[in-house]
Amino acid sequence: MTLKPNDILSMNSLRGKIEEILIKENYTFKQLADYLNLSEQELEDGLAHKTLELRYLEDISKNLKVPLYSFFRDNKIKINYNEKPYFTNKLWNDNEESSPQKLMEEIEMLKQAILFKEAELAKKLK
């Protein structure tokens, strides 16, 4: 089932948000269901009845590189998914000993996140 962006408006809001991201990333709902090892019907039912396990939403969030909270934002707030911010969960890994290389990689990701936020702020201040 391939949807157009206008078709999304009539759908369940969580499903609609996920479909919007899938369209922008050139993925299908079937590909997402396959990735999650669910049937399309199981995924559809989970979204429609709001019974989808959080771990599936986390997987969708990580692999589409959108923050998990974006699935639950107010529909009036428009998000430009072409300008996705970096996000990482590596920052709170206290049990893992960090090598200098890993620390440098985390610092670089943080620098990129800061640059993105500064650009976003500059646009709003214009």
Question: For 31-52, how does the pLDDT look when each residue is reduced to its tens digit (9 = 90+)?
Answer: 999 999 999 999 999 888 888 8
Query: Distance between CA 30 and CA 52 in Å, rounded?
Result: 16
* Tokens 């707030």, residue located: 77
> pTM for this structure?
0.49
User: Would you place residue 88 in the very low, low, confident or very high pLDDT band (cuts 50, 70, 90)?
Assistant: very low
Domain 1-78: CATH superfamily is lambda repressor-like DNA-binding domains (1.10.260.40)
Confidence at residue 31, expressed as pLDDT on a 0 to 100 scale: 93
**Rg of the chain over all Cα atoms, to the nearest angstrom:** 17
Residue 51 DSSP SS3 = coil
Question: For 74-87, how does the pLDDT look when each residue is reduced to its tens digit (9 = 90+)?
Answer: 656 565 655 555 44
User: Would you place residue 92 in the very low, low, confident or very high pLDDT band (cuts 50, 70, 90)?
Assistant: very low
Structure-block tokens of residue 77: 């707030």
Confidence at residue 33, expressed as pLDDT on a 0 to 100 scale: 92
Given a cut of 50, whether residue 2 has pLDDT beyond it is no
- Ranked by mean pLDDT, which of 17-26, 33-42, 76-85, 88-97 comes out on top? 33-42
Q: What are the residue boundaries of the structural domains of the chain, listed by start?
A: 1-78, 85-126
Given a cut of 70, whether residue 9 has pLDDT beyond it is no
